[in-house]
Structure 1
Amino acid sequence: MNKLRWAMDGGFWDLDRSTPRTLEGEGRAVPGEPLPLGVSRGTRLSRPKQIDFFQRFMFAPFIPSYCASSHGFSLQRVLALPFTQNWFATLLAQFNLQKFVSSFKKNGALQSSRLENIRKHLEDKSLYALGFCSELLLSPCDTLLLSLDFYGDDNNKKPRKKAIFHHKFPNHDLNVEAVWPGLYIDKAGNYWDVPFSMAIDLASLSSDSGASYHFCMHHSAGQPMQLGGDETVEVPATLLPGISLKSAFSLKKNIEIWRSNAQKLKMVQPFDIFLSNPHISASGVIGAAVMACFGDNSVRPQVVHESQQFEGLCLRAPAVKSTLLVDAFSSVSFTAQHGNFQRLLLDLTRFHARLDFPSGSKFLSGAARLAQDFCNSQQPTMETVQAICPKATVSFQQQIAGPFSFRVDSGVEIDWKNKDWHMCVDDPVFAIEYALHVLGSAKAVAWYSPKHREFMVELRFFET
């Protein structure tokens, strides 16, 4: 699932998404329309390092996960391989507990010896998955990660390989990544395997306010394959073979409406230092993006009706399979927090809402059509109203007791098929968070997605 962040990071940058379907615990979101902006990555520890932390400091011998569309309920454990101070290597093992129990119940009565039956079931290779991960600190600014995952079940016969090089410039981050095959997740929850995917990503460091820019070159090869689900679903155009160059420039402004000056409890450390100040704030982002595609990924779905033709500058050259897209985007967010997260009960209530306008040209075209309909005393069409409606996301967090808090993140959509245009939630994610206050701002997060029917336990740092 999308990272459970308050920050405005998911509207325009295609971040990795947490999912228990792979050993590494992540898949990439299918680049959205109209301007996918690459492979920006959220700050996080690798999956083996997360599990190693749980085992060492939280006394959790096994980490559970659940994926209804793949392996069901499984347990994971990591073995750290001590090499050098600059080289962290791990072996991650996964055991499919749900498949083992169901198989044992089904065939257990046929065996005379229960221990012999257990031994035979444990010898089934389809119950296991094994991953090797190596993180090498080449210099204080350079990191190289290599991973290789093997799966015993029939749904994942091909091993997954990944190589990532990360370099920290004074004011930029550079990521070079190659994965084969790469796992992608579309909005409907379908999983896609791309045989080979490579990306070079350069982004300026994020700041509270000011200008930022982003550049990405992405190359994919091979025909994408869907993993289960509805086989009649069309392959997303942005996953087809080809090369894409993407660039964006944006301006961000934060406004602090109110901040509490009340004194905090003395000699009591907040459970999370980033959630210890009651306040009300707002922020806005406006920017422009350019994308050039060369290859099969330059193909875009044909517009069904002229009223749906809301695009920015779009130049196509079908003879050479190339497309140029230019558009603007903007976003507005609002955050309100009550409580210092110091007391044992109900000392944190936090609400966040974000409105994304991913296509400025689509919004302006829809607004112009809407004004024209009003001037002509005509009823606006559903497509016109839909064009000016932003993508809305809301988050709510409430402390339960001590370091435990409940959180829900969800999109909000209008049911256009209903004449009354009722509001409905889209892809909600429910989570229980345990703040690790000894680390300042870190937490263990156990989340569940009803839409994807996935459950996962993760370790997060410095999320506000």
Structure 2
Amino acid sequence: MKHHDLHLQAAWNDKCVDRRGAYWNIPHAASVDLVSHGFSGIAYRVGLYHSSGISEDSTREGAGQLPLGALPGICGQAALYWEKKKEIWKDRRSQPHKPFNLLDSCPRVLLSGVIGGLVTAENLRGGDRQERLVLRDSFPRISTDLFTSAGISTQLGHFQRWFLDFSKLDAHLNIGSVNTLAMSLHNSNQLNKDFSNFPNVEVTFQQQVAGPFCARVDSRFMLDSTFKKRPSLQDLTYSFEWSPESFGALKVVAWYSPMRNEGMMEFRLLEK
């Protein structure tokens, strides 16, 4: 299909991570998604998701309510959303030197926004009798919700010189569930303690260290919808990136998350 992507995924001995960084062991899971794509405009996403549920060795200590991906059975979701991106400034001057990374060579200021609706069919979920009773009390069979996101991306420098030629700051405000936000504003005392759908702010900062080497910090803060508490830090990741000049759009990234106590080295291609 033109202007569509079909995603098929299956995993065994998988792990589901919630917003608090808690891991849930899932013996097997599968999903299929049909996604329309474009730079701006109306788009949609339709998917079916199957999970075997958490295994017996999963720990609930220090964790909250089960995340959606860890619940057993089949779940159907359909989302329709409008996305808009607007460049309010871009440096279009030609540069004499080749950048260390082609995708990070254009200084600009970009605004983005998304607003949409989501329909979820939870009545497709299975599991044993006890799980079905819990799910029936916790989730409606068919639910609807709204979500929105707004962000700004600012880059300075062409990433060509060896020093002080690349700085980038990204900030996004995400409201994953307008229903949850409205409930918290109406009655914060009776709100469920699952914070996965609370508004959050994601901030990413990148700074050139020397030549093709950059340092990066990714953070996510949960906002208190009543505005009575300070934002709480939910995740923090430190990264060190190397962009081999001969490959153009390849990055070698080593990252570590002190909150999740894990790290990894990755090869990333075509990442902006």
TM-score normalised to the size of structure 2? 0.83
Deviations 1:309-361 (A, max 9, x none): xxxxx7x3xxxxxx111111110000111101000001001000000111123
The one-letter code matched in structure 2 to 1:336 is T
Matched residues in 2 for 1:453 and 1:362: separation?
30
1:295 is aligned to 2:125: yes
The one-letter code matched in structure 1 to 2:91 is S
Tell me the CA shift for residue 448 of structure 1. 0.4
More helix by share: 1
Matched residues in 2 for 1:383 and 1:442: separation?
48
Tell me the CA shift for residue 212 of structure 1. 1.6
Matched residues in 1 for 2:69 and 2:11: separation?
16
Tell me the CA shift for residue 391 of structure 1. 1.1
Q: Indicate the residue corresponding to 1:340 in structure 2.
A: 158
The one-letter code matched in structure 1 to 2:271 is E
1:274 is aligned to 2:88: no
Tell me the CA shift for residue 236 of structure 1. 4.2
Q: Which residue of 256, 267, 272 corresponds with 1:448? A: 256
1:254 is aligned to 2:62: no
1:353 is aligned to 2:171: yes
Q: How does 1:89-104 map to 2 (within 5 A)?
A: none
Give secondary structure in 1 for the equivalent of 2:160. coil
Q: How does 1:217-228 map to 2 (within 5 A)?
A: 217-221=48-52, 223-227=54-58
Please say if residues 194 and 225 of structure 1, whose CA atoms lie closer than 8 Å, have aligned partners that are also in contact.
no
When the two structures are aligned, how many residues end up with a matched partner? 262
The one-letter code matched in structure 1 to 2:262 is E
Q: Indicate the residue corresponding to 2:70 in structure 1.
A: 239
Unaligned runs of 5+ in 1: 1-168, 304-313, 317-322, 370-379
Give secondary structure in 1 for the equivalent of 2:103. helix
* Identical counterparts, % of pairs: 32
Tell me the CA shift for residue 423 of structure 1. 3.6
Change in 2 beyond 3 A, CA 1:232/1:426: closer
Q: Does 180-189 or 330-339 show the bigger shift?
A: 180-189
Please say if residues 180 and 198 of structure 2, whose CA atoms lie closer than 8 Å, have aligned partners that are also in contact.
no
Matched residues in 2 for 1:358 and 1:345: separation?
39
More strand by share: 2
The one-letter code matched in structure 2 to 1:180 is W
Change in 2 beyond 3 A, CA 1:271/1:382: farther
Q: Higher Cα Rg: structure 1 or 2?
A: 1
Deviations 1:79-110 (A, max 9, x none): xxxxxxxxxxxxxxxxxxxxxxxxxxxxxxxx
Matched residues in 1 for 2:68 and 2:7: separation?
24
Matched residues in 1 for 2:94 and 2:215: separation?
26
Unaligned runs of 5+ in 2: none
Matched residues in 2 for 1:396 and 1:172: separation?
31
Change in 2 beyond 3 A, CA 1:262/1:452: same
Tell me the CA shift for residue 426 of structure 1. 2.3
Deviations 1:390-424 (A, max 9, x none): 311000000000000000010123579xx972344
Matched residues in 2 for 1:332 and 1:344: separation?
33
Q: Indicate the residue corresponding to 1:428 in structure 2.
A: 236
TM-score normalised to the size of structure 1? 0.51
Please say if residues 283 and 332 of structure 1, whose CA atoms lie closer than 8 Å, have aligned partners that are also in contact.
yes
Q: Which residue of 22, 26, 43 corresponds with 1:212? A: 43
Please say if residues 224 and 235 of structure 1, whose CA atoms lie closer than 8 Å, have aligned partners that are also in contact.
no
Please say if residues 16 and 24 of structure 2, whose CA atoms lie closer than 8 Å, have aligned partners that are also in contact.
yes
